Structure formats: structure tokens, C-alpha cells
């Protein structure tokens, strides 16, 4: 018995000395966050050949490779695609200030103490402080031969299918705005989400002659894929057709993370074409499939809860009437069946516009190209103003969870917050 106690005390002392295994697991809302290190924040890496760089972290007391990727960006601030019409911002072969190094927060580990052998040499230490105040570390390696084979996001360009450990989407090959299928692993029930809805409404020359353009006139065709273990990005050529004639072209990139989707829409609106449309609005929403009993809350009315039941009652109407602040606009839908989704909109590059909330709760209301009848619910954003000319930039983010815990005004903020990050030369 004395020998067992001695061994136990020795083991506890070893843990206290090395620091390994003392840091508790991350909060679920933080674990699958994508951490992004920009080249300009790691000057010691700028100019390094990309093929020489990799990441490692302390895992069970050993410095092990972790999944990572390096995304290069174009001069417009979006992910670079060869053959797309926006040039690369830096060099194709080396780390530039505009390049971004990506990994998952959950893969960070304890601090490396310098006493253990490892493959390659350490260039930099990435230090992060989580919400609980604990420090977590990742190391940038040079010329390490070791790579992780973990793939958090899997993509088949031939099938148009994106799959993670949590969700999968099959896109229509002819229009990636159409979801042919969607599933969430732990959801209790049939397919929970019908589609992403994107609609453009406006008058031709005058607001008295209003038209509404839906998926038949808004076509997003894939032009390239950047497949990575952390995030897969699809470049789309997005055309708006009126009377079978393309009147507007935009760039759309869809970023797929382990538990997130992000639609990045950018373009320059020609003055002449813009002048033909009076009072245009654009609506972006998620049409769900019979989420009866689900609750809906927004940033503008966090104390009011709408309940999906096929009708807009007084409570839901009060949520609609509260509107949305363009700069604080989360929408939370809880199915209460192991799926919550939280959405946000961000404007880019000086573009700004008032917005309002779209909330539809109906058994009968139908939208073009939907696979399931009704809007149960359909929630999203109506962007109410377009510039007369020039740049427009909008990013729509959708975060998924088995269930967010706590007050929505708290977890909505935490879900978007990144840890304090410091990159130190080794």
C-alpha cells in the first residue's frame, strides 16, 4: 500500500512539474474554432518557403504534428484561386504578410519545455489564452517531415459534397445556392434544413414595377476548390439574370469549417446597371424543415422568444418588429433536438446598409425550388440599401452546435470571439 501511495505521489508531482495534462478541455463552443494567424502578425515567418512550414503541439507529453493549412489571399482580401480574375497578393511559393495559417483551437496543447526530442526545428511559439484564463500553445516547425493525417473537412468536387464529423451538404452541381441534401449527425429527426435562400427584389426603373429574383435567376457556378483539413473553400461565379440576360456578376466564396458555414459575397456594382433597378433589397435566409417547437431569439430582442408553430403570433411579431442592428445582428434558432444554429452578417470594405429581420412561420407559404413545403421557420436578413455604384461586400456566417448553453447574448458573443494570441520567435 505504501508503495502504491508513493507511486501516486510521484505521478502527481511529475504532472505538476511538467505541466502536462493539467489544462482542462476547452469549452465546447471554443473547441472547433478556426484560429487564424496572419503573416503580418508573425514577421519571423514572412519569406519562408511554404513547403518548409508545419505545426505541432504537445500531445500526451510529445511534440506531435497537428492539422493545419496555409491559405493565400488575393489583392481584394479574399482567398486566392488560380485562374480567377483577382491576382495573388504575394508570392505563390513563400509566406507573405497576407497569407493566413489556420488550425483548430482544440489542437493546442501545453507549453513545450525544450527537453524532448522532435523532428525539425521550432521557428515560433503561438500562445493563446482561453476564456478560462488557461494558456495553450502551438509551435511552428521548419523542415519537419511529420504531418497529421486528420481531415476535419472532407470534400468531393465531383459529387459536390462537403462532409465533416458534424454535418454534410450536397450542393446542386449547376447552382451551389441550391442544397440537394443536408444532414446534421446528432439531430433527432428528418432533414432539419431545407435550403439557403437568396432573393433580390427591386423595381425596373421604378419601384412601381417590382420584380423578385430567386434561384432560377440567381445562379452560382463553382469555378474552383481549395481543399484543406481545417477549412474547404469553394469559389463561385455568381450571376444575376433578368429575362435570361446576365445583369450582375459577383464573387461568392463558401468556407466550410468543421461546425460552420460562411458565405463571402463581394463585387463592384456598375453605375449604369444599378440605375436600372429601383430600391433594390437582397434577402439571405435559412429555410428549415418542420422544426415545430423550435425557439427563435435575436440580438435586438434577447428577452423575447418566438416559437415555431405554423403561425406568426404576437410574440413572434414582436421579435420581427424589434428589427436588427446592422452591426449586432445574431439570430439563434434552437430545435431542441440536438441542433442549434446561430447566424451573423458582417459588412466589408466600407459597405454599410440598414437591415431588417426575416422571420416566416407558416405551413402554407412556399418558396421556389424548396424541397419541403412551408416555412417552419425561414429566418434571415433583409439588406435594405444598395450603393449607387462601387463595392459591395457581405459575409453571412452560420455556426452549428448540438445545443448552445447559457444566455444567448453571452454565447452569441463567445462564439465569435477569438482568444488572445501572441506569436513569439523561438
Give the separation between CA 89 and CA 73, rounded to whole angstroms. Answer: 6
Query: Quick check: 214 pLDDT over 80?
Result: no
Are the CB atoms for 113 and 34 separated by under 8 Å?
no
Give the separation between CA 326 and CA 244, rounded to whole angstroms. Answer: 33
| DSSP annotation of 109 | B
Query: Quick check: 221 pLDDT over 70?
Result: yes
Kindly report which listed range (41-50, 168-177, 337-346) carries the lowest average pLDDT score: 168-177
The domain 153-416 is placed in CATH, from the list 1.10.3470, 2.30.110, 2.70.98, 3.30.1050, at 2.70.98
> Could you tell me the pTM of the whole model?
0.90
What is the per-residue pLDDT for 347?
96
Q: Look at the block and give the residue holding cell 417590382.
A: 210
What is the per-residue pLDDT for 315?
96
- Nearest Cα neighbor of 103 from 137, 77, 132 is 137
Q: How confident is the model at residue 206 (pLDDT cuts 50, 70, 90)?
A: very low
68/194: higher pLDDT: 68
Kindly report, residue by residue over 127-162, the tens digit of the pLDDT. Answer: 999 999 999 999 999 999 999 999 999 999 889 999
Give the separation between CA 105 and CA 87, rounded to whole angstroms. Answer: 31
Give the separation between CA 393 and CA 264, rounded to whole angstroms. Answer: 8
The DSSP bridge partners found for residue 153 are: 164
DSSP line for 335-392: -SSS-EEEEEEEE-TT----EEEEEEEESS---TT-SSSSEEEEEEEEE----SSEEE
Kindly report, residue by residue over 290-327, the tens digit of the pLDDT. Answer: 999 999 999 999 989 999 999 999 999 999 999 999 99
What is the per-residue pLDDT for 270?
74
At 237, phi and psi to the nearest 5?
-95, 115
From-to residues of CATH 2.70.98 in the chain: 153-416
Give the separation between CA 164 and CA 309, rounded to whole angstroms. Answer: 31
What is the per-residue pLDDT for 8?
36
Helix, strand, coil shares of the chain, percent, nearest 5, are 15, 45, 40
- Nearest Cα neighbor of 130 from 272, 238, 251, 33 is 33
Averaged confidence pLDDT in the chain: 89
Amino acid at each position: 500500500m505504501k508503495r502504491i501511495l508513493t507511486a501516486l505521489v510521484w505521478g502527481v508531482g511529475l504532472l505538476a512539474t511538467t505541466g502536462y495534462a493539467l489544462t482542462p478541455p476547452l469549452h465546447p463552443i471554443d473547441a472547433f474554432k478556426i484560429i487564424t494567424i496572419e503573416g503580418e502578425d508573425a514577421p519571423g515567418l514572412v519569406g519562408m518557403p511554404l513547403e518548409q512550414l508545419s505545426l505541432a503541439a504537445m500531445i500526451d507529453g510529445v511534440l506531435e504534428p497537428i492539422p493545419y493549412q496555409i491559405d493565400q489571399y488575393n489583392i481584394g482580401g479574399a482567398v486566392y484561386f488560380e485562374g480567377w480574375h483577382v491576382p495573388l497578393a504575394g508570392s505563390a511559393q513563400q509566406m507573405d504578410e497576407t497569407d493566413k495559417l489556420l488550425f483548430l483551437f482544440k489542437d493546442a496543447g501545453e507549453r513545450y519545455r525544450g527537453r524532448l526530442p522532435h523532428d525539425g526545428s521550432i521557428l515560433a511559439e503561438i500562445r493563446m489564452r482561453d476564456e478560462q484564463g488557461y494558456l495553450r500553445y502551438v509551435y511552428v516547425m521548419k523542415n519537419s517531415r511529420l504531418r497529421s493525417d486528420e481531415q476535419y473537412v472532407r470534400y468531393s468536387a465531383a459529387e459536390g459534397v462537403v462532409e465533416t464529423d458534424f454535418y454534410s451538404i450536397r450542393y446542386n452541381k449547376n447552382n451551389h445556392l441550391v442544397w440537394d441534401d443536408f444532414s446534421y449527425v446528432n439531430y433527432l429527426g428528418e432533414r432539419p434544413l431545407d435550403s439557403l435562400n437568396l432573393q433580390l427584389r427591386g423595381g425596373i426603373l421604378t419601384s412601381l414595377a417590382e420584380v423578385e429574383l430567386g434561384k432560377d435567376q440567381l445562379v452560382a457556378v463553382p469555378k474552383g476548390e481549395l481543399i484543406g483539413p481545417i477549412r474547404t473553400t469553394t469559389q463561385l461565379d455568381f450571376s444575376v439574370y433578368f429575362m435570361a440576360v446576365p445583369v450582375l456578376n459577383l464573387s461568392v466564396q463558401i468556407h466550410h469549417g468543421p461546425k460552420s458555414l460562411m458565405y463571402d459575397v463581394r463585387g463592384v456594382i456598375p453605375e449604369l446597371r444599378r440605375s436600372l433597378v429601383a430600391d433594390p433589397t437582397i434577402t439571405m435566409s435559412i429555410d428549415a424543415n418542420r422544426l415545430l417547437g423550435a425557439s427563435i431569439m435575436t440580438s435586438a430582442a434577447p428577452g423575447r422568444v418566438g416559437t415555431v408553430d405554423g403561425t406568426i403570433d404576437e410574440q413572434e411579431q414582436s421579435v420581427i418588429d424589434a428589427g436588427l442592428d446592422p452591426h449586432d445582428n445574431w439570430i439563434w434558432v434552437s430545435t431542441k433536438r440536438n441542433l442549434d444554429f446561430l447566424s451573423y452578417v458582417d459588412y466589408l470594405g466600407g459597405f454599410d446598409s440598414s437591415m431588417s429581420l426575416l422571420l416566416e412561420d407558416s405551413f402554407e407559404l412556399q418558396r421556389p425550388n424548396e424541397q419541403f413545403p412551408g416555412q417552419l421557420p425561414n429566418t434571415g436578413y433583409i439588406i435594405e440599401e444598395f450603393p449607387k455604384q462601387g463595392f459591395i461586400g457581405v459575409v453571412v456566417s452560420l455556426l452549428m452546435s448540438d445545443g448552445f448553453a447559457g444566455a444567448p447574448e453571452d454565447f452569441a458573443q463567445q462564439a465569435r470571439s477569438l482568444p488572445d494570441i501572441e506569436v513569439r520567435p523561438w
